[in-house]
Chains A and B, each alone.
Chain A
Amino acid sequence: MIPLRFAARSSQPEPFVMRLNAEVRAYELDRTGLRTEFDGDLVEVAGQRLTYASPRGTLVIEGTTAEEVDGDVVLALPGGRAAQRLIRATSPHNTFLITERCDQLCLMCSQPPKHHHADLLPFFEAAALLAPAGMTIGISGGEPLLYKAALLPMMQRVLTHRPDLGFHVLSNAQHIDEDDLDPLVGMRDRVLWGIPLYAADAATHDRIVGKSGAFLQLMETLPIFARAGASIELRTVIMRENAALLARLASFVIMHLPFINRWALMQLESIGFGRQNWDRLFFDHSTEFTPIADALNIAKARNVEAVLFNFPRCTVPQPYRDRAPSTISDWKRRYLGECSGCQERDICGGFFEWYPEDRGFQRLARI
């Protein structure tokens, strides 16, 4: 697994953000005059211990190489004993975890909510402004919009200063109202809203997200996103709970949500509650693909783009394979013994690091 955190020694007890620059990058910043107060240059290498110095402090990072972290933006954590990688410069999968709080309690939540909340928003803002050109940054939680009063203006500021960046926000969309129309309009081409919907009926959806009234609330907030012309990625994790209802959901989507940018049908992730409830929830599409095929075909017939997220390619019948792009983030992706020698490995997203091989897909075979 790619590490997202390093052991570190900071010259400051308070947290601070630093962009890590090896020599070439440091020269380049001087030459172009783009150096910021957050830029730390490599001043010493001793084996796997790298020392970076910036106007805000000095940071010693352990267990990596200067090439590996060049251009990364890290946060020296309070206490100064560790550094969190906020932006990995070479990865397309960077996500800010805005909060661990949430008002829903989904059966398969990969990141079960916690009450404690640490506000890192100012650090995220600084990090976003230091991101490499053209990056799309993930915003996730918990439920990020619980802090929308600070979050939406922060996103607007970043998008204004960095016209090359975009955000991909994962939100349950429970906390948007009419007053948010303007900011949503302002960001509509640059922010993709990943919004979950698990069934076309309130009872099933509410049971899955562990909140009564959630479905009805979505029916109130989705129109606000639609009126703003916001880009929407509708997300449906497929479980035993809702697999049989997928075709109905598809019919709902094509009629009532035809304006979405895409509909992501997602396989379960075995971590958090997803791990605890795996046996009860996991729907093995490798042996029963019909409900998914029906949903894909209904969507395609009506011009709604539907895609499969977290579906290993060999578990998908051949005609549908092109709808299963590689989606598992690099830092939590792995391949099985089965995958060695597979012709599609390069375009396959493989498995989550925590995929339970003994209780997973029954049909797996290299292509």
Chain B
Amino acid sequence: MNIWPLRFRDLGRGSLLFADDAGGFFKGTEDFLDRYALNALTDEDQAFLHEGGHTFQRELDLSYLGFAYRWCARQAPRRQLGYVILVPTLRCNLTCSYCQVSRAPEGARGFDWTEDTLDAVLAFIGGLAAPEIKIEFQGGEPLLRLDLLERVRDFCRQRFGKAEFVVCTNLQAVSAEAWDYLAAPDTFISTSLDGDAVTHQRQRTRSTELTNAFFGNLDRAIEQFGSSKVSALPTIDIERPPAVDEIISSFVDRGLRSIYLRPINHQGFARRGRDPDVGLDRWNAWHAAFIEHLIERNFRTGTILEEYYFSQCLKRVLRAGADEHVDLRNPNFFASDYLVIDHDGVLYPTDEARMQSRIGRIDLSVGHVHHGIDTEKVATLNAASCNNFDPDCIHCPYQPFCGSDLVDDISRYGRIDLPKQATWFCRRHTSLFDKVFELLYRRDEATRFSLSRWADLESWPEHLVREHQ
């Protein structure tokens, strides 16, 4: 019998997590590890491994093909460009504390698409092969150029079988025309809601008047369009996080059930003098406590709230194909299924890459809308976009579930060759997956209630996760 290589990690109290390259995993003991390492597996060990799909007898037998299929399903990259992030203007009517680089003052000139750029953008989108398209309008504040939004939407609606639009807006000043625009069933709103009103004001709006305007608009949007058309993302300053209960009630009271907690990512001069990893341990601990809070609350109330990113990690552990989140995929090929077009027509693989380029740290642009994608540069970036062969990740049981984010490494450390365990990305995901596996092996009803709903199951089935004595 052949055993696919197993990686392992100490889970404490004498037990270890074992996982193979295809994402099959189980909990085992130190004794089992000894037997595995010393090639002294018992018949029971072998039967257990065989049942779990960790072995094969000969090439191309059923177990072999099952493993190969599961491995391939996890690697299969999305190859059709069908998601385009557009920055029609860099101008904004707010000055959020941590957003110095991706904005220009509201009255500035030269930060909007020209007529020429608009034409090129439409020609570029029109040339895509995908049958469906998703457009995300970013900024700056995209509602400042409602005219451009209208023209892009009109074009996409007639060009594609299905088109969806997300407007990432601060909901600060919404004109009557903008409300009409947002009312369309194919158009969605994404905004920021930094927990409670006090925090939101401190980090974003700065004045009570603006804060009230924002909450007024947010409530109106939800009331008028329903909570399924609105998503709100809190950006958390781990040095001054709002109270967990406050965050939750800001969301629940508005009928919002998915909360995507993001730590502030300082950019440009706001970062100078800061240790790039300040607050990481605090963040991990705070986030884990937030998850526990949700579990307790969900069980008590019988309703479900999720932390979006945690659910994403959970789904990635359980199955292939949970690739919706662009920062958590492997391989994470650049400019393959989504792309950013900046206010000046420059193409970037991600929004973060756009910021890094803007502050002059490194030029991560991958072409221009006039000339198309620079495939050579994309290939260079792609060479570093898999975790499969990373000298640290190959030893990590979380590798099949984890992703790779080389732009984040560049942004924080200016290089991509640090030992993984020294990076924010790795330490954050190690902590996240530790939490996922801790919960997967808990047996209490409260945990199972939340886990099942987060994984889109009706209830938590016995025997879903395996344990070897």
Interface residues of A (CB under 8 A from B): 200, 219, 222-223, 226-227, 247-248, 250-252, 255-259, 293-298, 300-303, 319-320
Closest to A226 in B: B65
Q: What residues of B have a CB within 8 angstroms of the CB of A300 in the complex? A: 456-457
Binary flags per residue of B66-98, CB closer than 8 Å to A gives 1, else 0: 100110010000000000000000000000000
CA distance A95 to B319 in the complex (A): 36
**Residues of A contacting B60 with CB < 8 Å?**
223, 227
- Whether B24 lies near A255 (C-beta < 8 A) is yes
Q: Evaluate contact between A223 and B61: CB separation under 8 angstroms.
A: yes
Once bound together, how far apart are the Cα atoms of A251 and B467, in whole Å? Answer: 13
A316 vs chain B, min Cβ distance (A): 11
Residues on A with C-beta less than 8 A from B13 are none
Residue from A219, A227, A256, A319 within 8 A of B53 (CB atoms): A256
- Closest A-chain residue to B319, C-beta based? A303
Q: Which listed residue (A226, A294, A320) contacts B461, Cβ 8 A?
A: A294
**How many angstroms between the C-alpha atoms of A47 and B424 in the bound complex?**
84
Contacts of B463 in A (CB 8 A): 247-248, 250-251, 294, 298
Q: How far is the CB of B163 from chain A (nearest CB, A)?
A: 27
CA–CA, A222 to B462, complex, Å? 27
Complex Cα distance, B115 from A107, in Å, reads 74
Contacts of B458 in A (CB 8 A): 293, 296-297, 319-320
Instruction: Tell me if A's interface is mostly helix, strand, loop or mixed.
Output: helix
Contact call A259/B53, Cβ cutoff below 8 A: no
Contact B462 A223 (CB under 8 A): no
> Which A residues lie within 8 Å of B270 (CB)?
none
Q: Give the Cβ gap from A311 to chain B, nearest Cβ, in Å.
A: 15
Q: Are B461 and A247 in contact (CB under 8 A)?
A: yes
| Residues of chain B within 8 A of A251, CB atoms compared | 51, 463, 466
Task: For residue A305, give the distance in angstroms from its CB to the closest CB of chain B.
Answer: 12
Q: A247-B461, A252-B51 are in contact. Are A297 and B66 (CB under 8 A)?
A: no
- Interfacial chain B residues near A227, Cβ < 8 Å: 60, 65
Does B464 make an interface contact (CB < 8 A)?
Answer: yes
Of all chain B residues, the one with the shortest Cβ separation from A247 is B463
Pairwise interchain contact B464-A298, C-beta atoms closer than 8 A? yes
Nearest residue (CB) in A for B70 is A258
Q: Tell whether B6 is near chain A: CB-to-CB under 8 Å.
A: no
Query: In the bound complex, how far is the Cα of B52 from the Cα of A226, in angstroms?
Result: 19
- Inter-chain contact B460/A259, CB cutoff 8 Å: no
A247 to B462, CA, bound (A): 8
B interface majority secondary structure: loop
When C-beta atoms are compared, the residue in chain A nearest to B320 turns out to be A303
A226 in contact with B69 (CB, 8 Å): yes
Cα A252 to Cα B24 in complex, Å, equals 12
**A255 cross-chain contacts in B, Cβ below 8 A:** 24, 51-53, 63, 66, 70
16 further contact pairs, Cβ within 8 A, besides A247-B461, A251-B463, A258-B66: A219-B61, A223-B61, A223-B65, A226-B62, A227-B60, A247-B463, A255-B51, A255-B63, A255-B66, A257-B62, A258-B70, A293-B461, A294-B461, A298-B464, A301-B461, A302-B319
Set of chain B residues within 8 Å of A298, measured between Cβ atoms: 461, 463-464
Residues of B within 8 A of A223 (CB): 60-62, 64-65
Q: Are A301 and B318 in contact (CB under 8 A)?
A: yes
User: Is B178 part of the binding interface, using a Cβ–Cβ cutoff of 8 Å?
Assistant: no
Query: Residue B249 at the A interface, CB < 8 A?
Result: no
| Contact A301-B320, Cβ < 8 Å, known A251-B51, A255-B53 | no
A222: chain B residues within 8 A (beta carbon): 62
Name the CB-closest residue of B to A256: B66
Query: Least Cβ distance of B453 to chain A in Å?
Result: 11
Whether A256 pairs with B62 at a CB distance below 8 angstroms is: yes
C-alpha spacing A39/B61, complex, angstroms: 48
Nearest chain B CB to A98 CB, angstrom units: 27
Offer 19 A-B interface pairs, CB within 8 angstroms, sorted by A: A223-B61, A251-B466, A255-B66, A255-B70, A256-B63, A258-B66, A258-B70, A259-B65, A294-B463, A295-B461, A296-B458, A297-B458, A297-B461, A300-B456, A301-B318, A301-B455, A301-B461, A303-B319, A320-B458
Lowest 4 A-B CB distances belong to which pairs? Answer: A255-B53, A297-B461, A294-B461, A256-B66
User: Residue of A at shortest CB range from B57?
Assistant: A219
Q: How far is the CA of A211 from the CA of B319 in the complex (A)?
A: 35
Q: Considering the chains assembled together, what is the distance between the CA atoms of A251 and B51 in angstroms?
A: 8
Q: Cα distance A319–B458 when bound, in Å?
A: 7
Query: Contacts of B464 on A, CB cut-off 8 Å?
Result: 297-298, 301
Cα A222 to Cα B61 with chains together (Å):
9
